[in-house]
Amino acid sequence: MTQTVQYVRIQSKGTKIGTALQPLMDDTDTKILNLLRENSRMKNTEIARQVNLTERAVRARIEKLVKSGIIRKFTIETSPVGVEGIVLIDTQVGRTPAVKEKATELSDSVFECSGEFDVAVRLRADTLNELNRKVDDLRAYPGVIRTSTLIKLVEEPTGVRWGK
């Protein structure tokens, strides 16, 4: 059986007495995660049927995975709609962290990068005008020297499934 483990401090009456390995996930937890990756709206009763547990046991395991931070959010994946772009941002020295933080208000895909630009931001919008407004918002941030925007024209399916 495969297990993900984490080092934890064992305490007795507030005194640290050592380090131990505590399993975070077992094979059943992994199966539950994979089912939720396929369909984050799957009912606990259906998950329970597929992993041979009770609904209550599945609910408890999901709550444990959320509490431990393994599951961070439940979400949906949509077909590509609208327009998508990557904005490369050149920042003033020492301003990169502030620009990255501000950019997270517009996108959940913000990366510090090396090379000619310091930050990359992936933006999605329903229209080209809306995307342009978001780019203009990024350009107005203090510390931004210049930007370069790449608009996605075509997405080719790769057959790669992320998260498995």
Residue 18 lies in a domain: yes
Residue 156 lies in a domain: no
Q: What is the CATH number of the domain that holds 116?
A: 3.30.70.920
Q: How far is CA 114 from CA 28, 87, 123, 150, in A?
A: 40, 14, 19, 17
Tens of pLDDT along 91-116?
A: 999 999 999 999 999 988 999 999 99
Return phi, psi of residue 72, to 5°.
-95, -30
Residue 47 lies in a domain: yes
Residues 91, 118, single domain; the answer is: yes
Measured distance CA(38)–CA(50) in Å, rounded? 13
> Which pTM does this prediction carry?
0.52
* The pLDDT of residue 12: 40
Residue 63 lies in a domain: yes
Residues 61, 17, single domain; the answer is: yes
Percent of the chain with pLDDT over 90: 51
Residues 102, 58, single domain; the answer is: no
The total domain count for the chain is 2
Measured distance CA(122)–CA(83) in Å, rounded? 11
Residues 92, 49, single domain; the answer is: no
What range defines the domain where residue 35 resides? 4-67
Tens of pLDDT along 28-71?
A: 998 998 898 888 889 999 999 999 999 999 999 999 988 888 88
Q: Which residues, in sequence order, are CB contacts of 98 under 8 Å at separation 6+?
A: 141, 142, 143
